[in-house]
């Protein structure tokens, strides 16, 4: 395989280096990293390829389709849903598709290669006075193509939306090598949005090679608000009022008592009870922020919001440390997160049932509500346990997912708000999608008849 690929895209772009094979056979999924910590041998790819142009991606996919070789697209490798690990695959690392092709300041668009990582994009846009506003916690370790493929959602989604609201057009290569491109127009009514099939496709339908994203000037002023509540239910009612108002916050997060305990670790003087942090920016930010008083709760310390902004991505390092057995939970500690969503009508039942059932199986279950919409919100659960050994940790993880996903479906929630499905949640996807799952299967059969693209992800 190596020689044939080298003939197609050059030997420098094909690697069988041991470290490359190790780092490209896994992602950041806790069960995968736990298996590695326990000494299990993870699936290793045949090789890693780094095509540097759409045409090279096309050549690789044409070849793979003919030879029936499995291809796994790889951006930053930060999936937490077991999106990467297919055995005997050629891993297609998009890292060399890293050009910022065009910034159209007049139409407020940027066209970028799918391998561009968060900080590179932010830096290039900042120079021209723009931002995309898509800021997942994993910003530094994830790519534009990964955001599109996982249907990601950033921390500032209340203002900027999820990646599906930010993407205006895509270029992709399909199995067999065909290159498909969307026209760049603000909206059109030309049949179903077929290109949007790539958003959330998790590498199963082809390789996203370029994305055209909406940009805007970053807001100048920001006003923070912190509100404390006696009960979570009051906080949820407050968030709903905000979501259905015309106050347009950029950030809204409501922590329950246990999650506030995690959030306030470095503020031992602060009561961990339910608390909401909000940020408003842009014109009239101060006035809009002040309008939140009187809706509910009592004012807390807005410096806690500044603390969140300064430390909002620290969990990336803490997560790695815990999984490596070097954190507070000890050598066999385990942590995982579940991000589900539901309407305001379903949210109370969803919160209480997941909290109750998961709390029976983990030492700590924290939850925050974030990513608000007029119709509902995301509930983000963090589960942590110190266990006596890695085998128990693995059993615990399996039990968490079994309980969490079953309870979520029973309560009418969606099993993933933004981390995607991967292999981790594929068992529950047919129930999540109902009759639409067979439509997805039909699309897969048509677009990828030989099943070469990331088999197993989305259960396909």
Please report, as ranges, the residues that interact with ligand FAD according to CB under 6 A.
Answer: 27-28, 72-80, 83-84, 94, 114, 136-138, 142-143, 145-147, 149-150, 152-153, 155, 202-203, 207-208, 315-316, 319, 418-420, 454, 457
Q: How far apart are CA 321 and CA 315, in angstroms?
A: 10
Tokens coding 263: 């959030």
Q: Are 45 and 64 in contact (CB under 8 A)?
A: no
**How is residue 218 annotated by DSSP?**
P
Q: Does residue 145 sit in helix, strand or coil?
A: helix
Least distance (Å) from ligand FAD to the CB of residue 72? 5
Nearer residue to ligand FAD within complex by CB, 78 or 223: 78
Least distance (Å) from ligand FAD to the CB of residue 78? 3
Residues sharing a CB contact under 8 Å with residue 278, sequence separation 6 or more, in sequence order: 224, 225, 226, 227, 242, 249, 251, 252, 253, 289, 292, 305
Nearer residue to ligand FAD within complex by CB, 157 or 387: 157
Nearer residue to ligand FAD within complex by CB, 99 or 348: 99
Least distance (Å) from ligand FAD to the CB of residue 317? 9
Least distance (Å) from ligand FAD to the CB of residue 57? 9
Cα–Cα distances (Å) from 125 to 133, 149, 251, in that order, read: 11, 22, 21
Q: Which residue has the tokens 């009051």?
A: 234
CA dihedral 6→8→13→17, nearest 10 degrees, is -30
Q: Are 63 and 5 in contact (CB under 8 A)?
A: yes
Q: How far apart are CA 96 and CA 366, in angstroms?
A: 39
Nearer residue to ligand FAD within complex by CB, 48 or 289: 48
Q: Return the exposure string of 29-56: e unless at least 16 CB atoms fall within 10 Å of the residue's CB, then b.
A: bbbbbbbbbeeeeeebbbbbbbbbebeb
Least distance (Å) from ligand FAD to the CB of residue 114? 4
Residues sharing a CB contact under 8 Å with residue 66, sequence separation 6 or more, in sequence order: none
Least distance (Å) from ligand FAD to the CB of residue 28? 4
Alpha helices (H) in 68-211, listed in sequence order: 118-127, 144-150, 157-160, 163-166
CA dihedral 351→355→357→361, nearest 10 degrees, is 150
Nearer residue to ligand FAD within complex by CB, 166 or 289: 166
The residue with its CB nearest to ligand FAD is 146
Least distance (Å) from ligand FAD to the CB of residue 435? 24
Q: Are 1 and 47 in contact (CB under 8 A)?
A: yes
Nearer residue to ligand FAD within complex by CB, 295 or 315: 315
Nearer residue to ligand FAD within complex by CB, 222 or 320: 320
Q: Are 221 and 288 in contact (CB under 8 A)?
A: no
Q: Are 385 and 333 in contact (CB under 8 A)?
A: yes
Nearer residue to ligand FAD within complex by CB, 76 or 376: 76
Least distance (Å) from ligand FAD to the CB of residue 14? 18
Q: How far apart are CA 324 and CA 376, in angstroms?
A: 35
Least distance (Å) from ligand FAD to the CB of residue 149? 3
Task: Look at residues 331, 350, 398 and name the one whose alpha carbon lies nearest to residue 383.
Answer: 398
Least distance (Å) from ligand FAD to the CB of residue 19? 17
Nearer residue to ligand FAD within complex by CB, 174 or 289: 174
Nearer residue to ligand FAD within complex by CB, 136 or 342: 136
Nearer residue to ligand FAD within complex by CB, 155 or 292: 155
Task: Look at residues 396, 278, 412, 395 and name the one whose alpha carbon lies nearest to residue 340.
Answer: 412
Least distance (Å) from ligand FAD to the CB of residue 230? 29
């Amino acid at each position: 395989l190596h020689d044939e690929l080298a003939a197609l895209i050059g030997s420098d772009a094909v690697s069988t280096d041991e470290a490359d094979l190790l780092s490209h056979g896994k992602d950041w999924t806790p069960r995968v990293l736990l298996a590695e910590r326990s000494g299990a041998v993870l699936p290793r790819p045949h090789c890693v390829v780094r095509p540097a142009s759409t045409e090279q991606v096309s050549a690789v996919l044409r070849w793979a389709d003919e030879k029936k070789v499995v291809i796994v697209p790889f951006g930053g490798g930060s999936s937490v849903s077991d999106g990467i690990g297919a055995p005997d695959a050629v891993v297609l690392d998009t890292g060399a598709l890293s050009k910022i092709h065009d910034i159209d300041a007049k139409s407020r668009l940027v066209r970028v290669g799918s391998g561009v990582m968060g900080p590179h994009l932010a830096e290039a846009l900042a120079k021209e006075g723009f931002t995309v506003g898509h800021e997942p916690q994993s910003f530094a370790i994830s790519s534009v193509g990964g955001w599109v493929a996982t249907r990601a959602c950033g921390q500032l989604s209340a203002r900027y939306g999820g990646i599906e609201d930010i993407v205006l057009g895509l270029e992709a290569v399909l199995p067999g090598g065909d290159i498909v491109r969307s026209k760049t127009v603000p909206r059109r009514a030309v049949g179903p949005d077929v290109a949007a099939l790539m958003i959330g496709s998790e590498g199963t339908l082809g390789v996203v090679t370029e994305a055209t994203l909406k940009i805007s000037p970053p807001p100048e002023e920001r006003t923070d608000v912190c509100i404390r509540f006696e009960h979570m239910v009051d906080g949820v009612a407050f968030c709903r009022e905000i979501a259905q108002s015309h106050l347009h916050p950029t950030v809204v997060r409501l922590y329950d008592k246990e999650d506030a305990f995690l959030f306030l670790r470095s503020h031992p003087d602060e009561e961990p009870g339910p608390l909401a942090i909000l940020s408003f920016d842009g014109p009239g930010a101060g006035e809009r922020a002040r309008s939140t008083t009187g809706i509910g709760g009592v004012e807390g310390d807005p410096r806690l919001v500044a603390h969140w902004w300064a430390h909002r991505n620290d969990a990336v390092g803490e997560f790695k440390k815990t999984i490596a057995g070097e954190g507070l939970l000890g050598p066999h500690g385990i942590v995982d997160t579940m991000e589900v969503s539901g309407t305001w009508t379903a949210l109370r039942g969803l919160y209480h049932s997941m909290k109750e059932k998961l709390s029976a199986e983990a030492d700590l279950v924290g939850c925050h509500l974030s990513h608000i919409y007029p119709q509902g919100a995301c509930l983000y659960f963090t589960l942590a346990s110190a266990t006596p050994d890695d085998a128990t940790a693995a059993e615990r993880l399996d039990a968490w997912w079994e309980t969490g996903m079953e309870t979520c479906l029973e309560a009418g929630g969606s099993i993933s708000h933004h981390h995607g499905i991967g292999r981790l949640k594929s068992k529950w996807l047919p129930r999540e999608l109902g009759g639409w799952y067979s439509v997805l299967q039909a699309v897969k059969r048509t677009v990828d008849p030989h099943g070469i693209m990331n088999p197993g992800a989305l259960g396909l």
